[in-house]
Amino acid sequence: MRPAPFRFAGATAVVTGAAGGMGEHLARGLAERGSTLLLVDRDAAKLGAVAASIRSSYPDAAVTTFVVDLVRRDAVDEVASEILAATDTVDLLINNAGVALAGTFDQITMEDFDQVMAVNFHAPVRLTHHLLPLMRAGAHIVNVSSLFGLVAPAGQSAYSSSKFALRGFTEALRNELLPRGIGTTTVHPGGIRTNIARNARLGGNLDEAASRKARGGFDRLLTFPADRAADLMLEAVKNRSPRLLIGWSATLPDVVARVAPLSFGTLQRHLASLSRLPALLPATLRRGAGTGRGGASVEPKPDGVLEGGLLRVDGVRIRYRDEGAAEKTPVLLLHGIGRSLEDWEGLYARLAPDHRVISIDLPGFGLSERTAGRYSMETIARFVLAALDTLGERRPLHVVGNSLGGAVAMKLSVLAPERVRSLVLANSAGFGKEVTLALRLLAVRPVGRVLMRDKSRKAAYRTERAVFYDRAFVTEERLDHAQEVGRNPVHDDVMLAVAGHLGTVGGVRRRWRTELLRSVAAQRKPTLVVWGDEDRVLPASHLEHARTAFPHAEFHLFEKCGHMPQIEREEEFDALVRRFVADADTDHDAPTHQGFRNV
């Protein structure tokens, strides 16, 4: 379990690299929050000036400075001893100091390489080792990695090695320290506007022209304000976030690293001008393939199951989950708009013993790539059918859909009635015009684009809070995942496309839902419709519309439940679904199912 929120007031904080850039802003932010400061840097004059300025602005702040060159291991050990002598406790350690190095591996010397590793990796490790005995439950460690701790472009062999190493160290440390109540955060800044490029070390074998080019290319990445980055870091500490990505130049490569790792060639070729990434990455991700040398197209790779929980369907890579025995009755789980397969997390273990359970991140949602062309209910449903074909599953399915997933489930039944045995529709789209204002505004594309720009923790909280009646379900883990999903570079475009297809600012479009409900009702398949009585996305009044549209169906209303009954009423929902599916398996040719419950 994650420790309680960090309390800055009265905490003792050690910050390295505090004489400028993010380190200086971190020190000021900590002073403003009432922390005692132990500031470390190699530049005595600048460090002294920062300390004097903080004391002037915050007269009650206790500030102690330590001058050290972190390249030298003996100096690191010595400054650690000085810190141990100056305080009995360390509540927050921020290993922020770092140095850049320009040059390809054959342009730098081993001395250059070792110096970068010393400052960026060995110094944080040694300081952590020395100071950890002073850290008690409630303490926190922040290690500042980099964009280049997510991807490793040409010309950054030493720097990337040090930052990947620091990332791995911090992730391992988190698993070791979390049971002791000590939190950790790995920070991956993108291009932060500091002097790191100007102060970068140069490979010993670089000539003057190459040096200028390397510095200039690196400097062009640095656009994000350092003070804003520092505020985000302190907010991450407060919330005990295990990882923080700062700026789109970090978030986009992170998504590429997860979703389309083979696109790194494109990323590396354009890394010197990352401002072009928004135009480059969506095109790459849409097709699920990179480009060859000189921009030549690469032959499409065959569809099939890939490693890492991925599936290639029609050339598009999507995330999927397939559990249970292949010979068991198949159940397909479909999530809602802007969501992911994690929305079914509690059901896999419950359903898998008796069924083959399949779920996917619909194209463009979760961590999946998007399809080319226009989005519609039909194109999404046909893609789902293609995904099932790729998995070799062509038997009649029980399809369980939440929100948008419910409408997709109904469309599957219309397009391929022989492949859908029964429908479970949880707070499904399609039964009424009313929908939350947020989705109606997304249907107005210019307004939607403005709204989608907000990727903050607060925005993620608002979104998650809207789908649950009980705020206890808005966990830090769900917020972390919501932000991760929102960083998918195709997420915004797909959200806007689907929202525009489904509705207008006035609500859900009448034509598609009227035609869909009429076609599904004519099939009279076993259907279970459930709703949460406190749904703020699609109101529970839609359940009455469902009764009218599907007189053959079964119905259930969950009390004190929002838009996600499969999460908020997991056990109840699972029992209903398993009982319903068992009945449908027993007599799936029965022409009708009479309504059984309305709690």
Task: Show which residues are catalytic.
Answer: 159
Q: Hey, is 577 helix, strand or coil?
A: helix
User: Which one-letter amino acid corresponds to residue 248?
Assistant: W
- Closest C-alpha among 342, 320, 322, 341 to residue 330: 322
Euclidean distance between CA atoms 469 and 568, whole angstroms: 8
Euclidean distance between CA atoms 357 and 522, whole angstroms: 27
DSSP string, 18-43: TTSHHHHHHHHHHHHTT-EEEEEES-
Region class of 366: left (phi > 0), else alpha (psi between -120 and 50), else beta: left
Burial class (CB in 10 A: 0-12, 13-18, 19+), 385: middle
Dmax over CA atoms of the chain, in Å, equals 85
- Closest C-alpha among 121, 97, 86, 87 to residue 43: 97
Euclidean distance between CA atoms 95 and 98, whole angstroms: 9
**24 and 48 in contact (C-beta within 8 Å)?**
no
DSSP string, 302-343: PPEE-SSSEEEETTEEEEEEEES-TTSEEEEEE--TT--GGG
The token pair at 404 is: 């948008």
The token pair at 502 is: 């489904």
329 Cβ partners below 8 Å, 6+ apart?
354, 355, 356, 395, 398, 581, 585
Euclidean distance between CA atoms 164 and 150, whole angstroms: 7
Euclidean distance between CA atoms 55 and 49, whole angstroms: 10
- Closest C-alpha among 16, 13, 49, 24 to residue 227: 24
The H or E element that residue 524 is part of is none
74 Cβ partners below 8 Å, 6+ apart?
none
Q: Hey, is 503 helix, strand or coil?
A: strand
301 Cβ partners below 8 Å, 6+ apart?
288, 289, 312, 315
**564 and 460 in contact (C-beta within 8 Å)?**
no
**98 and 44 in contact (C-beta within 8 Å)?**
no
Instruction: Name residue 67's beta-bridge partners.
Output: 41
291 Cβ partners below 8 Å, 6+ apart?
265, 266, 284, 297, 298
User: How many CB atoms are closer than 10 A to CB 552?
Assistant: 16
